[in-house]
C-alpha cells in the first residue's frame, strides 16, 4: 500500500524515538544476523539498519525481521531496485545517503517509510517541500558535525534529523543534545571484530551503553 511523505516521516519519527542510537550494520555472514539482532534488542536498541553493501544483506534483513521486539530497516538504498528488494526481504523502513526523485517515488509507491539523506540546507529544503520532515544528516562529521546540524536548526526548525557518518560513543552526546536531533546512527555498537568472534554478550553490553546515551545528552 503506498505511503505519503508525511506518513513516512511520522513513522520514521516513531522509530527514532524508541532509542537514542540506531545501529548501522554491515552483515557479511547471514548466520550472524539473528543472534546479532537479539543482542542489540536485548541491550535496548530495537531499531536496526542493515546496509545493502554485502551479498548477505537481504538474507540478514529477512532473518532479523523474525526477532521479537526488533524493527529492521534497509540502508544504502540508491534506487527502485533496492527499495523493492528491501521490502520483499521484510524491511520495515529504508535509509538512503541522498535522494533522487526515482528513489523517493519508489519508496512511496512500495509503502516503505524512508529516512532520506541530506547534507545541505538546499537538500533539506527540497525534501521538506516534498513532505519529509524527518531526515538523515549525512555524512555528519564530514559535513560539519554537530555545529553544522545546530546551525541548520535555526532556519529549519521544522526538520528533525538522525545524523550518521562518523558518529561515535564519544561525540554522540553532542548530537543528541541538539533540539533538532531525534537519534543518531552508528556502527560502533557492533564492531566487526566482535561480530566475527560471535561475542554477542559484548555487543549487548555496548548496546546498553548506547541506550543510556540519551540520559547523558540531557545532562550535556
Give the pLDDT confidence of 25-49 residue by residue, as tens digits: 999 999 999 999 999 999 999 999 9
Sheet of 117-118, strand order = 117-118, 134-137, 160-163
The verdict on whether 49 is a catalytic residue reads yes
**Locus of grid cell 554485502:** 54
Give me the pLDDT at residue 30, please. Answer: 97
pLDDT, tens digit, for every residue of 85-94? 999 999 999 9
* 119-135: pLDDT as tens digits: 999 999 999 999 999 99
Q: Which of 38, 49, 108, 204 is catalytic?
A: 49
pTM across the whole model: 0.96
The set of cell numbers assigned to 11 is: 513513522
Task: Tell me the average pLDDT of the chain.
Answer: 96
pLDDT above 90 as % of the chain: 97
* CB contact at 8 A, 77 and 96: yes
- Give me the architecture of the 5-214 domain, per CATH: Alpha-Beta Barrel (3.20)
The reported pLDDT for the residue numbered 218 is 54
11 Cα distance to chain centroid: 13
| Annotated catalytic residue within 92, 108, 136, 204 | 136
The percent of residues in the chain predicted with pLDDT above 70, rounded, is: 97
Per-residue model confidence (pLDDT) at position 216: 60
Decide if 85 contacts 66 (C-beta within 8 A).
Answer: no
Beta strands in the chain (DSSP E): 21-25, 47-51, 71-75, 93-95, 114-115, 117-118, 134-137, 160-163, 184-186
Q: Does residue 141 have an active-site annotation?
A: no
> Could you tell me the residue ranges of all domains in the chain?
5-214
Question: Grid coordinates representing 140?
Answer: 555528519
**Angle, to 10 degrees, between the axis of helix 101-110 and the axis of helix 80-89?**
30
Amino acid at each position: 500500500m503506498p505511503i505519503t511523505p508525511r506518513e513516512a516521516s511520522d513513522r520514521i519519527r516513531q522509530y527514532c524515538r524508541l532509542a537514542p542510537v540506531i545501529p548501522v550494520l554491515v552483515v557479511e555472514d547471514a548466520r550472524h544476523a539473528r543472534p546479532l539482532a537479539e543482542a542489540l534488542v536485548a541491550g535496548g536498541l530495537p531499531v536496526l539498519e542493515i546496509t545493502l553493501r554485502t551479498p548477505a544483506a537481504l538474507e540478514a534483513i529477512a532473518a532479523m525481521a523474525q526477532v521479537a521486539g526488533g524493527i529492521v530497516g534497509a540502508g544504502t538504498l540508491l534506487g527502485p531496485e533496492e527499495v523493492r528488494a528491501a521490502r520483499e526481504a521484510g524491511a520495515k523502513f529504508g535509509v538512503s545517503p541522498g535522494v533522487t526523485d526515482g528513489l523517493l517515488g519508489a519508496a512511496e509507491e512500495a509503502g516503505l517509510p524512508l529516512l532520506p539523506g541530506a547534507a545541505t540546507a538546499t537538500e533539506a529544503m527540497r525534501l521538506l517541500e516534498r513532505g519529509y520532515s524527518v531526515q538523515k544528516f549525512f555524512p555528519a562529521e564530514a559535513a560539519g558535525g554537530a555545529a553544522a546540524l545546530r546551525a541548520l536548526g535555526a532556519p529549519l526548525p521544522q526538520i528533525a534529523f538522525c545524523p550518521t557518518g562518523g558518529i561515535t560513543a564519544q561525540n554522540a552526546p553532542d548530537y543528541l543534545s541538539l533540539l533538532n536531533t531525534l537519534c543518531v546512527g552508528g556502527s560502533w555498537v557492533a564492531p566487526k571484530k566482535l561480530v566475527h568472534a560471535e561475542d554477542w554478550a559484548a555487543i549487548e553490553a555496548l548496546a546498553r551503553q548506547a541506550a543510556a546515551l540519551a540520559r547523558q545528552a540531557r545532562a550535556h
